[in-house]
Copies of this chain bind each other. A is one copy, B any other.
């Protein structure tokens, strides 16, 4: 209950960076969770303050990134690891600049496949989770199939997919769906099942049918769980698209990876890996932002510190 009093000089319009998370030992160790009501001067609450808080939010990851790049640069420049395995940041940068249109085009292809695959996986996964969570009969029938589809290594069935779906976008999207589907199902089922039985009772006394109970009670209740699954799924969807491109493609970052590997072109390989990671990170952050908008009410979010990277 007792979460928030007015924060010291915090911009009220942006409460997400207000206080340390409720009950985190950091906070516990230093004092009660809720800071006193001493509003700062108005100046601190405008743009300057926003910038200051942005800086505060990103300096740590920025520092980390800088440190990583330095280590990388040091290792590569000194050739502690040979350059054909680990190129220098400079080489990678040059490759990126020289081939930007080629890389951009292929990034777009992979991004496209990933997004479509993720959206389909989210919808199908949620649908499946609903069937499983609602009907024990369905559960017994569907669960084995879902599980089976998950445990088969996708890289092994990728050639079959190419045979069945040709070499266009379809097999990549199918792979992305297959690979991203499972976490959505698992977290969806767990979320839908975790509804307080008394709320279900409540809905029943309101004469609500399954759909309304789902829409207004079970689904919102499942969201915190579900978002965990979607976060895992979105990063896996990238992998699915790339694996699909390994098997049969003449575009996309997975294809560029094959090219780079075939030519031992480490700079291109790293640029390619960087772009793949970038897609994953950007989509992950998009899901996190969606989460922050969808479930601001949840205990995990009430604290004010969102689960983001920035």
A228 CB-CB contact with B under 8 Å: yes
Given A134-B25, A152-B276, A155-B155, CB of A3 within 8 Å of CB of B197: yes
**Could you tell me if B242 and A153 are in contact, using CB atoms closer than 8 angstroms?**
yes
Which of B24, B61, B153 meets A239, CB within 8 Å? B153
> What 0/1 readout, one digit per residue, does chain A (259-290) give for beta carbons within 8 Å of chain B?
00100000001001100110111001000000
Given A1-B197, A61-B140, CB of A281 within 8 Å of CB of B147: yes
A38 CB-CB contact with B under 8 Å: no
**Could you tell me if A194 and B299 are in contact, using CB atoms closer than 8 angstroms?**
yes
**Could you tell me if A273 and B224 are in contact, using CB atoms closer than 8 angstroms?**
no
Which of B24, B137, B228, B231 meets A135, CB within 8 Å? B24
**Shortest beta-carbon distance from A117 to chain B in Å:** 14
Identical chains bound together, number? 2
Q: Which of A132-172 contact B (CB under 8 A)?
A: 132-137, 139-141, 143-145, 147-148, 150-157, 159-160, 163
A28 CB-CB contact with B under 8 Å: yes
Contacts of A255 in B (CB 8 A): none
**Shortest beta-carbon distance from A200 to chain B in Å:** 3
**Could you tell me if A307 and B229 are in contact, using CB atoms closer than 8 angstroms?**
no
Q: Which of A24-60 contact B (CB under 8 A)?
A: 24-26, 28-29, 57, 60
A contacts with B, residue count (CB < 8 A): 99
**Could you tell me if A280 and B20 are in contact, using CB atoms closer than 8 angstroms?**
no
Contacts of A307 in B (CB 8 A): 132, 139, 143, 189-190, 193
A248 CB-CB contact with B under 8 Å: no
Which of B22, B133, B195 meets A200, CB within 8 Å? B22
A173 CB-CB contact with B under 8 Å: no
A213 CB-CB contact with B under 8 Å: yes
Known: A139-B307, A151-B277. 5 other contacts (CB 8 A): A3-B197, A147-B284, A151-B279, A152-B280, A156-B276
Q: List 18 A-B contacts (CB under 8 A).
A: A22-B197, A22-B200, A24-B136, A26-B135, A64-B144, A64-B145, A65-B144, A144-B309, A147-B235, A147-B280, A150-B235, A151-B276, A151-B279, A153-B243, A153-B276, A193-B303, A193-B307, A194-B299
Binding site for B on A (CB under 8 A): 1-3, 20-26, 28-29, 57, 60-61, 64-65, 81, 85-86, 132-137, 139-141, 143-145, 147-148, 150-157, 159-160, 163, 182-183, 186-187, 189-190, 193-198, 200-201, 203-204, 209-210, 213, 224-225, 227-229, 231-232, 235, 238-239, 242-243, 246, 254, 257, 261, 269, 272-273, 276-277, 279-281, 284, 298-303, 305, 307-309
